[in-house]
Structure 1
Amino acid sequence: MKKFLALSCAFSTFAFAAQADITVVSWGGAYEKSQVEAYNKPFMAQTGTKITMTSADNPAGPIKSMVESGNVTIDVADLEYTDALRLCDEGLLEPIDPASLPPAPDGTPATEDFLEGAVTECAIASMVFSNVYGFDTTKFSDQKPSTIADFFDLEKFPGKRGMRKTAKANLEMALMADGVAPGDVYATLETPEGLDRAFAMLDKIKGQTVWWEAGAQPPQLLADGEVAMTTAYNGRLFSAVVTEGKPFEVVWDGQVYEYELFGIPKGAPNKDEALEYIKFATGTQRLADQTKWISYGPARKSSLPLVGLFEDGKTEMAPNMPTAEANMKRSLRTSVDFWVDRDVEISERFNTWLTN
């Protein structure tokens, strides 16, 4: 009888845990749809856990106040790399043991299977996204923009520009447009003269720039004719072209790419379930599955050979990834160390520059 009761209690505890609800905050749009299809639906079917998705302009925003007030309502946050490291350093994210992550199908440990830098103390990368720019092909019938320098050339390619309302990526693109080699960008930005040089390039288009904050905005700005070209996350432009038939084209020259990671806020109400979700979502097959819905590259090596067609059943996804060989010719990986050390200082200068 005691054995039966013990088994019953164990089963009840498991069933309760399996039915716990978790809240995942992400970025909305096509990106969120890819997560719902590749991660959430199969995870809910397998575990019985209900997942509530919410979106934010930047999911890192509310975490600090939630943790400090002791009122954490987020279980999993989809974070940019610099935000993940900063929040971890401030003790605002739960640590994640890399040994708990599932190995590759051939048994390769997760720490060896993930791309370099994709596993951190408090967050695990799911994919590689890129800051690129795109343009409306109907605006440029004679000559098309093809380099990052063209984005800053209002005389050769007139029309309003769209840019994210942040210093990050914009300064890097500005220097590459001014002739700085990708490998020298951060060494240049570390100097007062280099920073001035980047802002001088932004000055050239400031009066013709529309500033965006949410990832869904750039394709809409193009579609509405408010801008002729805009920086954007590559997956957003891909979705607009392939799923909506928009006459946009992506320029990969001067792309600035980085990882997107999952983290668990300190004191998350469903920490155990959140960890299980992250382990599931960052497995080899799930990361490959996500590319069926969006053109972001998986953060695991073992996922790459499994990348196939888009959901339309005809578009090959590999050439549309930031990490495709042809797209990496003049690319730059975001320097996390640079932005962790200088984000506050440079962002203050950028915000002051915006208002002058």
Structure 2
Amino acid sequence: MNGSWTKSLAWLVTLSTSYLFAQESVTVVSFGGSYAKACIEGYHKAFEAETGIKINLEDYNGELAQLRAQVEAGAVTWDVVDAEGPQLVLACDEGLLEPIDMLNLPPSPDGVPAEDDYPPGTLTECGVGGLYYATIVAYHPEVFPASEPSKIEDFFDIDSFPGRRAVHRNPQAVLEIALMGDGVDPSDVYDALRSEAGVQRAFASLARIKDQIVWWEAGAQPPQMLADREVSMAIAWNGRIFNAQMLEDQPFKIMWDGRVVDTGSLVIVADAPNLANARKFVEFASRAESQAGVASHIAYAPVRYSGFNLVGNHAVTGKPMKPHLPTNPDHGGRSLTFDVEFWVDNRDELVERFTSWLSR
């Protein structure tokens, strides 16, 4: 009798404990693929172990439609979202996000307050900057045995560097690269794009190679195109090329000249169903150690100054990671910081013009 009662009691305790822990969760929405895997290994598992809060990870394509629909319908299921700059600003302006001033962001490992450990512009009204990534040009060196490309102008020089080019079917970063490839200094790129003459110049730069372009829409396509020798050079995301180099032993090289560096941020959805857990998650993710943890799996650089110093070797291969990070000062060459406000103000018009130009 006593044994039966003890077993029943143990079963009830286990059931109730499981029930309680099942309620402690947070839904995090991100871009999937190798980036999501890097986050899982880099700090998601550590967050779950430290807090007991389960992360329910979902993928999305970066657009606002689903987030907007949830908030407007009063049926929010997401808590935290990985957001790119223009989407972050628009969502914040529309009231779709919680302000971050209610967060208690941790100091750096050596005690520097968070607000002094983040570069200007990476802590915004609704977003906490997490990682830097870059749109770069990558190439297959075996295609160029005599002389390899070394500057962004070479991407647009079909005569000297023959072969087809992979280009993102999206004007963001592509128009900037087109202008730098035509000799525009990075400091002048956005002033140029604010003028009709500058926009025309960007499209004219692309037009010089248009008949050699293979357009891509998914980030996994450029490294595959390079591997298949379908193209000789590709505008791509540095993390995708890095994974092909590091994990697939591809011989690709990145031409860091003319790179466009952007910031990925974490945001909390307005009326998030697990608001307290969402805050805990973003605070944990904002630790320098968490950002460096992701950078041990994928070549995206920590936003926090102290995070860069913590980056060591790749978690799988053991190779040093800092040489692969887009913010490494040793890269040299021309670098452009993606202008979020410019694209918030001009995206619709430039997407329309880009689409029209593609159809000609």
Corresponding position: 1:259 with 2:263: yes
161, 168, 183: which is aligned to 1:179?
183
- Is the contact made by 2:299 and 2:325 (CA closer than 8 Å) also made in structure 1? yes
- Is the contact made by 2:296 and 2:313 (CA closer than 8 Å) also made in structure 1? yes
- Is the contact made by 1:256 and 1:332 (CA closer than 8 Å) also made in structure 2? yes
Corresponding position: 1:69 with 2:73: yes
TM-score when normalising by structure 2: 0.90
Q: Which secondary structure state, in structure 2, belongs to the residue aligned with residue 250 of structure 1? A: strand
Aligned counterpart, 1:151:
155
CA–CA separation in structure 2 for the residues paired with 1:149 and 1:251: 11
- Is the contact made by 1:322 and 1:328 (CA closer than 8 Å) also made in structure 2? no
Quick one: which amino acid aligns to residue 227 of structure 1?
V
CA–CA separation in structure 2 for the residues paired with 1:216 and 1:287: 23
Aligned counterpart, 2:336:
332
220, 224, 227: which is aligned to 1:216?
220
Comparing 33-42 with 313-322, which one deviates more in the overlay? 313-322
Quick one: which amino acid aligns to residue 272 of structure 1?
A
Q: Mapping of 1:1-356 within 5 angstroms?
A: 16=20, 19-58=23-62, 60-97=64-101, 100-356=104-360
Aligned counterpart, 2:8:
none
Residues 1:56 and 1:328: Cα distance change in structure 2 (over 3 Å): farther
- Is the contact made by 1:98 and 1:110 (CA closer than 8 Å) also made in structure 2? no
Comparing 188-197 with 18-27, which one deviates more in the overlay? 18-27
Aligned counterpart, 1:6:
none
Q: Which secondary structure state, in structure 1, belongs to the residue aligned with residue 345 of structure 2? A: helix
CA–CA separation in structure 1 for the residues paired with 2:123 and 2:27: 22
Q: Which secondary structure state, in structure 1, belongs to the residue aligned with residue 208 of structure 2? A: helix
- Gap regions ≥5 residues in structure 1: 1-11
- Is the contact made by 2:103 and 2:283 (CA closer than 8 Å) also made in structure 1? no
Quick one: which amino acid aligns to residue 113 of structure 2?
P
Deviation (angstroms), 1:129: 0.6
Deviation (angstroms), 1:249: 0.7
- Is the contact made by 2:246 and 2:317 (CA closer than 8 Å) also made in structure 1? no
CA–CA separation in structure 2 for the residues paired with 1:264 and 1:17: 22
TM-score when normalising by structure 1: 0.91
User: Looking at CA atoms only, which structure, 1 or 2, has the larger radius of gyration?
Assistant: 2
Comparing 180-189 with 49-58, which one deviates more in the overlay? 49-58
Quick one: which amino acid aligns to residue 97 of structure 2?
L
Quick one: which amino acid aligns to residue 100 of structure 1?
N
Q: Which secondary structure state, in structure 2, belongs to the residue aligned with residue 154 of structure 1? A: coil
Q: Which secondary structure state, in structure 1, belongs to the residue aligned with residue 135 of structure 2? A: strand
- Gap regions ≥5 residues in structure 2: 1-15
CA–CA separation in structure 2 for the residues paired with 1:184 and 1:120: 25
- Is the contact made by 2:79 and 2:273 (CA closer than 8 Å) also made in structure 1? yes
Deviation (angstroms), 1:189: 1.1
- Is the contact made by 2:130 and 2:291 (CA closer than 8 Å) also made in structure 1? yes
CA–CA separation in structure 1 for the residues paired with 2:23 and 2:108: 28
Aligned counterpart, 1:4:
none
Residues 1:69 and 1:98: Cα distance change in structure 2 (over 3 Å): closer
Deviation (angstroms), 1:138: 2.2
Provide Cα deviations, 1:171-217, integer angstroms capped at 9, x if missing partner. 11001000011111111111110110001111122222222222222
CA–CA separation in structure 1 for the residues paired with 2:125 and 2:22: 26
CA–CA separation in structure 2 for the residues paired with 1:21 and 1:99: 18
Deviation (angstroms), 1:121: 0.9
Q: Which secondary structure state, in structure 2, belongs to the residue aligned with residue 101 of structure 1? A: coil
